[in-house]
Amino acid sequence: MSEVPQLRIGEVAKRSGLAASAIRYYESEGLIRKPARRSGQRVYDESVLDQLALIDLAKGAGFTMAEIKKLLSGFARRTPPGERWRQLTTAKLAELDARIAEAERMKTVLRKVMRCHCPTLDDCSRALRKAQPG
Amino acid sequence: MSEVPQLRIGEVAKRSGLAASAIRYYESEGLIRKPARRSGQRVYDESVLDQLALIDLAKGAGFTMAEIKKLLSGFARRTPPGERWRQLTTAKLAELDARIAEAERMKTVLRKVMRCHCPTLDDCSRALRKAQPG
DNA sequence: ATACGACCTCGAGTGCACTTGAAGTCAAGG
DNA sequence: CCTTGACTTCAAGTGCACTCGAGGTCGTAT
């Protein structure tokens, strides 16, 4: 007779570090299973913390809500997790590489403007258009 | 008597590659100078293209509207551009480095989940919490 | 009985950088 | 004269991932 701990949303919030509103939001978006209710209130068992941890991991990997939703329920029922991850991850890796390349490009621009010696911003603007004609 | 070319907003949009609505928006936000009007319509001279190019450069360097506004009008009137750029750029470079580090971190997570062999996502979730206790 | 605290739902608000839509003005062309 | 097309203003909408507020319910403690 081991008693399964029953958690209300406030407790789940505390343990997961999320706001209660976020947990309700995830439920409304179908990212976590709908818990039982006791007199109207949500009653969770501890497995919800695992589900939330998975969502947190996916968020930490840069996935959007829509992508996490797809990960969780956008595949044929018995598609194994590895397969699910790999499909989403391939595109995301490319996206991250693009993001990094973009940031590097920005850094190049920044290093260039830091060396600016124009007397006024208008000169700056004009210099720009002369430097990059077309 | 060289005639200065007078451009209406549609022409500026075409030459700058921006939407007319974006140009009006920049004006309303104080990013570009208010042009003359002829029977209600905006009439630009070519210098607006320089101003827009500068904004485009700044956007390309990752600056927000607010930061560009500060660059253009958030300093004592005779602060030279080089000084303006340097003040904003220092913080932005750090931000970009953080962005890159974050993306690298995400890539690490992704490479890890790609090797997942869990039979179900629930196993995945549970594995997560066991792996990172606290 | 009543106050309290934690929960409930639903709709609206947040920030960013614009875009879209409605309703109106203007000059030129047929 | 009337249409056409480019322009005008102003308010509201977009996407994301939630948060916030109002107004109401529930069980427990006083």
- pLDDT bin (cut points 50, 70, 90) of residue B109 is very high
pLDDT of residue A32: 96
pLDDT of residue A34: 96
In a 3-state reduction of DSSP, which class is residue A120? coil
A77 touches chain B (CB under 8 A): no
Residues of A in contact with B60 (CB under 8 A): 105-106, 109
In a 3-state reduction of DSSP, which class is residue B7? strand
**CA atoms in the 13 A half-sphere facing the CB of B134:** 0
> Nucleotides of chain D within 7 Å of a protein C-beta?
6-9, 16-21, 25-27
- pLDDT bin (cut points 50, 70, 90) of residue A4 is confident
Last residue of a domain, one of A37, A57, A74: A74
Range of the domain at B133: 75-134
pLDDT of residue A127: 85
The conformation of residue A74, written as its DSSP 8-state character, comes to S
- Looking at the structure of chain B, the number of domains it has is 2
CB within 8 Å of chain A, chain B residues 36-55: 47, 49-51, 53-54
pLDDT of residue B63: 96
B64 touches strand C (CB under 7 A): yes
Residues A35 and A87 in one domain: no
Last residue of a domain, one of B42, B64, B86: B64
Protein-to-nucleotide distance from the CA of B19 to the C1' of C27, whole angstroms: 23
Whether residue B82 lies inside any domain: the answer is yes
Mean pLDDT of chain B: 91
pLDDT of residue A134: 41
Residues B55 and B108 in one domain: no
Is B111 in contact with A62 (CB distance < 8 Å)? Answer: no
Our CA-based measurement puts residue B39 at a distance from the nearest CA of chain A, in whole angstroms, of 28
A48 touches strand C (CB under 7 A): no
Residues A18 and A56 in one domain: yes
**Nearest by CB to B129, which of A49, A100, A121?**
A49
Is A67 in contact with A59 (CB distance < 8 Å)? Answer: no
Whether residue B69 lies inside any domain: the answer is no
